[in-house]
Structure 1
Amino acid sequence: MTGSDVVVVTGAGGMGLAVARRLGSGRTVILADASAPALEQAVDSLRAAGYAATGRLTDVSDAAAVAKLAAAAADAGRLTAIVHTAGVSAATGTAKAIIEVDLVGTAHVIDAFGEVAGPGTALVCVSSMAGHYATVAPGDERALALAPAAELRTLDVVRAVGDDPLAAYMLAKRGNHLRVQAAALAWNLRGARINTISPGVISTAMAAAESRTASGVHMMAMVEACGAGRTGTPAEIAAAAAYLTGPESLYVTGTDLLIDGGQAAWIRWHREPA
């Protein structure tokens, strides 16, 4: 093991790259993604800007691959921060892919890095404001929070989403919140912390693709109606990740930070009933 501080970022898209740039100065950055071209481009960009960056081709839906990523990160130095941004959107992915990556993949990240986390390690899983709108029965919430990762696909509440990508996305993101809450005790006992961030509409390539769909048009209309007047930026998510992995949040764990320009508040208190 070297003496370098290590930052792991899953997802080589706009959000992941912004996080790597915000957290990576003077540290070893390990960037992971399932797309070799996207990963190579992102690592090259970081290296050109002076970062000590390496890439690891990793499909988070593969438990063994995530375990290897965690082991490599632990071997590289002091594991200080893991920010899990990898995901599939409701507009561009199938329900199956969303469950595999967004729900099961996040569980794999929590489990694998929970085995190597130590004092001072902080994990942030990027969820979504959509997770705040999922209606899940208490018994199903408990199953989503505590079932072994390998059993998540077979839960009744997961099977019930069928082929509906939006239902799968909302459930997966709610599952992220629940699993992080349930994992906080184990992370505390290691001297480590774990939280989620729930972004609203953020200006990324994924969001641009989603904005061209019917649900995306509705989503952008909500951005205007809630008074925000704009989408969020990857840099704003990176700033939140910096807070949740930094020294100013040492008493913050097992919770979610909603970053949505006030959309959730508008939906609850001001949107006209359908």
Structure 2
Amino acid sequence: MADRPEVLVVTGAGGMGSAVARRLGSGRTVLVADASLAQLDRLVDALCSEGYAAQGVVTDVSDRKSVEKLAETASGEGRLAAVVHTAGVSAATASAQKIFEVDMVGTVHVIDAFEEVAAPGTSLVCVSSMAGHMASLSREEEAVLATAPAEELMGLDAVAAVGDNAIGAYILSKRANHVRAEAAALAWNRRGARINTLSPGVISTAMSRAEAESDTGAHMLRMLDACGAGRMGTTGEIADAAAFLAGPESRYITGTDLLVDGGQAAWIRRHRPAH
């Protein structure tokens, strides 16, 4: 009996998702998931024309049943090697409510649904953000974010305190990604699987370009110069980091976050002038 094929799941058909699919998809069945059928079709068509065995699954990560269907589909295709969750929205393009639904609750749906089908060797990489390292939360607030059922997250005091502040919602959601992966690592370990988060800084994507054109964009770009990086990161660099966390070189790494930000968070913590 032939071995079951390896399956790679990539949520999000944007710049990071497409780079990850190409970096990790060779020789595997690639399932790409996105809420936009048009964007999904464009990426799947491109991947197939390049020789990848790719197929699309329309998925709204903010809908638990939609994510559970994706996990079930992936499990049925073969041995689940890796899941890289890049789907998300930003403060420049979405409301606080939408950010919480997609970036925070949606990530919990992915963690929960794929835990049920994870096999020995499966690696889940959730793309978070450097912004998560900027959150100021108490230990108690983080503990609740890490463990509350998905359906209760929108009712938390920390969420209510953000109100309509989209930037605040983004920061809180991305910190929630970090602590959620930490808390989930035990259950994933018991399945012989791993879970980590990956926190990009400013990466050259359509989303980051929209942010650069927003009110906070000039400040963001000045910080890149101040921290010494002098440039945005590339989607290829994020794909390389995801490949490391999804691959055998990191088999003893789980429940943690990898910052890929050109040193921006370190500069903010240690060198940014006090106001």
User: The TM-score by the shorter chain falls in which range?
Assistant: over 0.9
Count of residue correspondences: 274
CA separation in 1, counterparts of 2:206 and 2:274?
31
Give the structure 2 partner of residue 56 of structure 1. 57
Give the structure 1 partner of residue 230 of structure 2. 229
Give the structure 1 partner of residue 256 of structure 2. 255
Alignment of structure 1 residues 133-148 onto 2, 5 Å: 133-148=134-149
Is contact 1:11-1:86 (8 Å) kept?
A: yes
SS of 1:180's partner is helix
SS of 2:116's partner is helix
CA separation in 1, counterparts of 2:106 and 2:218?
28
Counterpart AA for 1:158: V
SS of 2:32's partner is strand
Runs of 4+ in structure 1 over 2 Å off: none
Alignment of structure 1 residues 175-194 onto 2, 5 Å: 175-194=176-195
Cα pair distance change 1:233/1:41, threshold 3 Å: same
Alignment of structure 1 residues 57-76 onto 2, 5 Å: 57-76=58-77
CA separation in 2, counterparts of 1:45 and 1:97?
29
SS of 1:214's partner is coil
CA separation in 2, counterparts of 1:142 and 1:267?
25
Give the structure 2 partner of residue 160 of structure 1. 161
TM, length-normalised to structure 2:
0.99
CA separation in 2, counterparts of 1:45 and 1:21?
10
1:272 lines up with 2:269 in the alignment: no
Give the structure 2 partner of residue 100 of structure 1. 101
Counterpart AA for 1:45: A
SS of 2:216's partner is helix
Identity %: 65
Alpha-carbon deviations, 1:246-271, whole Å to 9, x = none?
01000000000000001011111111
Alpha-carbon deviations, 1:128-153, whole Å to 9, x = none?
00000000111110110000011101
CA separation in 2, counterparts of 1:80 and 1:122?
7
Q: By how many angstroms is 1:2 displaced?
A: 7.3
Give the structure 1 partner of residue 33 of structure 2. 32
SS of 1:108's partner is helix
Counterpart AA for 1:115: E
**Which structure 1 residue ranges, 5 or more long, are not aligned?**
none
Give the structure 2 partner of residue 17 of structure 1. 18
Cα pair distance change 1:12/1:2, threshold 3 Å: farther
Is contact 1:91-1:215 (8 Å) kept?
A: no
CA separation in 1, counterparts of 2:220 and 2:111?
29
